[in-house]
Each structure stands twice: as C-alpha cells, then as structure tokens.
A and B are shown apart, each in its own frame.
Chain A
Amino acid sequence: EVQLVESGGGLVQPGRSLRLSCAASGFTFDDFAMHWARQVPGKGLEWVSGISWNSASIGYAASVKGRFTISRDNAKNSLQLQMNSLRPEDTASYFCIKGTRDAFEIWGQGTMVTVSS
C-alpha cells in the first residue's frame, strides 16, 4: 500500500523558516516525480513545487519561488520542502503527492503550517 506521511508542520512567526518532510513507502520512490501542494482550509488547491525522479527537473509556483526549496533523497525514500521567509499567506495544509503521467496520483494526509506572530 502506498503511504505518504508528512511531518514538520506547526506554528511559525513571519520571516522564519520551516522544513517539511514526507516519508514514502509502498512504491519504488525513485521511479516517480513528487510534488507539494497546499490548501488553505475551506479554499482551493494550489500546486507549490515539483521534482522529477532524478531531481533534474524542479519547478515552483510563482508565489513561493525564491523562498521555498524542494529536494528528495531517493536512498531514504523521502521528500523535503525547505520554506524560508514565511509569510502569513503561506498558512495552509501542505500535501505530499506522488506524481504520475503529469498528474497527482496519491496524496498524503497533509501537515498544517500556520504563519503568525
């Protein structure tokens, strides 16, 4: 069974940093692209960042580019999102996603990030 378990969320002050992690299991991790998306409670989905299986291709939403960094460790079946210079508008639930065929096949349960003073 495919499992994606996010961790690292929490309450952080504006301007500070947070690092999210995603532990993957149940599939061959280094065969698939991985992504992060976020959702403000009660609002729509926003794609945040994606990384190809070999880290050769990486993309970011304009809203986070220059502040967030995605990375993966295929040896450890893990995905990370380093979030710097956090803003109140970054407050959302962040989902780790297994990619497939340019779509988002399996979603983790999400980890909540709250940016507030």
Chain B
Amino acid sequence: QSALTQPRSVSGSPGQSVTISCTVAASDVAEFIYVSWYQQHPGKVPKLIIYDVLERPSGVPGRFSGSKSGNTASLTISGLQADDEADYYCCSYAGGYNWVFGGGTKLSVL
C-alpha cells in the first residue's frame, strides 16, 4: 500500500493562510485520485472536511479548500481562526478496495 507523507506540524497566525501538503510516491500516482481530508480536535472524532480532492461537505466553511498537482495534494485554510487548531489527516484510495491515511499534521494557531 502506498504511503502518504504529511509535514508533522505547521503554524500560522489568525487571519493568515496555511497549506498542508500530502505527498504520495511517484509510482503510486495513478491511484492517487480520491483524496480526502479530516480535521480532528483533541479528544474528538475526525471530521470530513474535503473529499474528491476539492469538494467540501455541506457545513464546511469555504475557508477550507483542497487541490492536487501531480503527486501532491494540498489543504489550504484561509482566514485562520483559533478553532482551526487541530490535527489534519489526508487520505487516499489506494486501489484494490484499500485506503491509506497520511501520518497527520498538527496545526498550531499562534
């Protein structure tokens, strides 16, 4: 199964924008199609915030956006708010009815 690589931590100030990357090995790009992102606050269950690379479920603010280029998917959070401080995980379908999560990124709002 392919591995997804995320930075361990990112930070930003309120009002700024931050981008979290999610990279797959070049050999696994063909199956790097269905990318989703999850937000997890401490002690809470993960919440889906992006699916199909760039789609937002209803109720998720437009400040959250997703994109993909080559073997890297990205989650961008604009207009950073204190409540955005959380762990963020990317996930991708890996083929053969398998999925894989990235290692997670801790976002700190300074």
Query: Count of B residues near A, CB < 8 Å?
Result: 25
Closest B residue to A43 by beta carbon equals: B104
Cα A110 to Cα B43 with chains together (Å): 11
Which of A101, A103, A107 sits near B91, CB closer than 8 Å? A103
Q: Which stretch of A8-16, A21-29, A56-64, A79-87 is in the interface?
A: A56-64
Cα A50 to Cα B100 with chains together (Å): 12
User: Does any Cβ of B come within 8 Å of A116's Cβ?
Assistant: no
Is B45 touching A45 in the complex (CB atoms < 8 A)? no
Is B51 touching A47 in the complex (CB atoms < 8 A)? no
Cα A37 to Cα B50 with chains together (Å): 18
Query: Count of A residues near B, CB < 8 Å?
Result: 26
User: Does any Cβ of A come within 8 Å of B18's Cβ?
Assistant: no
User: Does any Cβ of A come within 8 Å of B69's Cβ?
Assistant: no
Cα A110 to Cα B93 with chains together (Å): 22
Residues in B neighbouring A58, C-beta threshold 8 A: 97
Residues in A neighbouring B99, C-beta threshold 8 A: 35, 47, 50, 59, 102
Contact with A along B30-46 (1 / 0, CB 8 A): 00001010101000011
Residues in B neighbouring A104, C-beta threshold 8 A: 36, 38, 46, 48, 91
Is B36 touching A102 in the complex (CB atoms < 8 A)? yes
Residues in A neighbouring B89, C-beta threshold 8 A: 44-45
Which of B34, B46, B55 sits near A45, CB closer than 8 Å? B46
Cα A109 to Cα B98 with chains together (Å): 22
Min Cβ gap A101→B in Å is: 5
Q: A57-B97, A104-B91 are in contact. List 9 more A-B contacts (CB 8 A).
A: A47-B98, A50-B99, A59-B97, A61-B1, A95-B45, A102-B93, A103-B91, A105-B51, A107-B45
The residues of A with any CB-CB pair to B shorter than 8 Å are: 35, 37, 44-47, 50, 52, 57-62, 95, 100-110
